[in-house]
């Protein structure tokens, strides 16, 4: 096992022999690492933290630390992280709270860039990117294949739908539509579908055209949301059905 002499691994921590632990790292007693993880240096892993395989942690990131919530009184809450994630310099991931479900969860193949923050009880899917200093308040849901631009704060209890791209500096206080390109370029608006991102993910021309028609009805027509949803329900396609279901279950309202 490659653990630098300056690092501290508490009794009870589970660190496979395939892991690489660089200098000045701290691993708490309830941390469980999967195979082939790398802690470059100055990494803090704490709390009841379960981490999958092939994750890379860069200097000064902190994962599983106590939530920034004054209601937290030391309860044994958790962090769960999947496989193949990269967590860059000074990123922070807080463990959950009892009132919020008790767990903060990150899927697989995500990139958290420098200074990103994942607040307590947030749930991130797989294949997501949080750019530099993107910050999630508690209880945020980020669905699969989402990209959050730099300096994007997301309000508590907001959901960012699958395949959405949120431009840098956008303050998210309502739910972000799936498949959308949403930005604060002039003011917070959905500017249609995330066409480039969807093409890169293999969406066919037919799927893109159908989604574009659905977005025109929802965000660019003179119909109110209820009227637009009625017409969207008559359209074919799983993507349109997912869009309708997302809007229907939104509690904070959606950015249009």
SS3 163: coil
**Of 30, 121, 175, 239, which is the active-site residue?**
121
Instruction: Say if residues 150 and 125 touch (Cβ distance below 8 Å).
Output: no
Concerning whether 138 is annotated as a catalytic residue, the answer is yes
Cα angle 200, 205, 207 (rounded to 5 degrees) comes to 90
d(CA 177, CA 220): 14
Of 42, 117, 120, 139, catalytic: 120
Contact 177, 198 (CB under 8 A): no
Whose tokens are 């939530």? That residue is 67
Which of the residues 28, 52, 107, 138 is marked catalytic?
138
* Angle, in degrees to the nearest 10, between helices 205-215 and 238-249: 30
**Is 139 part of the annotated catalytic residue set?**
no
Return the residue matching tokens 């992280």.
Answer: 81
Catalytic residue check, 127: no
The strand pair at 180-183 and 38-39 is best described as unpaired
d(C-alpha 33, C-alpha 46), whole Å: 11
70 Cβ neighbours under 8 A, 6+ residues apart: none
Question: Can you give the C-alpha Rg of the chain in angstroms?
Answer: 20
DSSP bridge partners of 154: 136, 172
User: Do the Cβ atoms of 112 and 83 come closer than 8 Å?
Assistant: no
Q: Which residues are part of the catalytic machinery?
A: 120-121, 138
């Amino acid at each position: 096992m490659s653990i630098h002499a300056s690092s501290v691994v508490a009794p009870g921590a589970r660190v496979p022999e395939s892991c690489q632990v660089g200098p000045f790292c701290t691993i708490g007693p309830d941390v469980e690492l999967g195979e082939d993880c790398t802690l470059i240096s100055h990494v803090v892993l704490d709390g009841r933290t379960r981490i999958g395989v092939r994750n890379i942690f860069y200097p000064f990131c902190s994962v599983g630390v106590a939530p920034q919530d004054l209601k937290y009184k030391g309860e044994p809450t958790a962090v769960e992280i999947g496989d193949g994630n990269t967590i860059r310099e000074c990123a922070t991931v807080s463990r959950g709270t009892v009132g919020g479900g008790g767990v903060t969860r990150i899927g697989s193949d995500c990139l958290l860039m420098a200074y990103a923050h994942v607040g307590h009880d947030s749930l991130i899917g797989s294949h997501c990117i949080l750019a530099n200093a993107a910050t999630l308040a508690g209880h945020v849901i980020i669905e699969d294949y989402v990209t959050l631009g730099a300096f994007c704060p997301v309000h508590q209890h907001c959901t960012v739908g699958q395949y959405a791209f949120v431009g840098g500096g956008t303050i998210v206080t309502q739910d972000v539509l799936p498949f959308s390109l949403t930005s604060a370029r002039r003011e917070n608006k959905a500017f249609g579908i995330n066409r480039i991102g969807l093409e890169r993910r293999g969406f066919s021309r037919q799927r893109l055209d159908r989604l574009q028609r659905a977005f025109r009805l929802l965000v660019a027509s003179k119909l109110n949301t209820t009227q637009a949803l009625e017409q969207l329900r008559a359209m074919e396609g799983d993507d349109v059905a997912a869009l309708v279901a997302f809007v229907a279950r939104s509690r904070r309202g959606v950015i249009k």
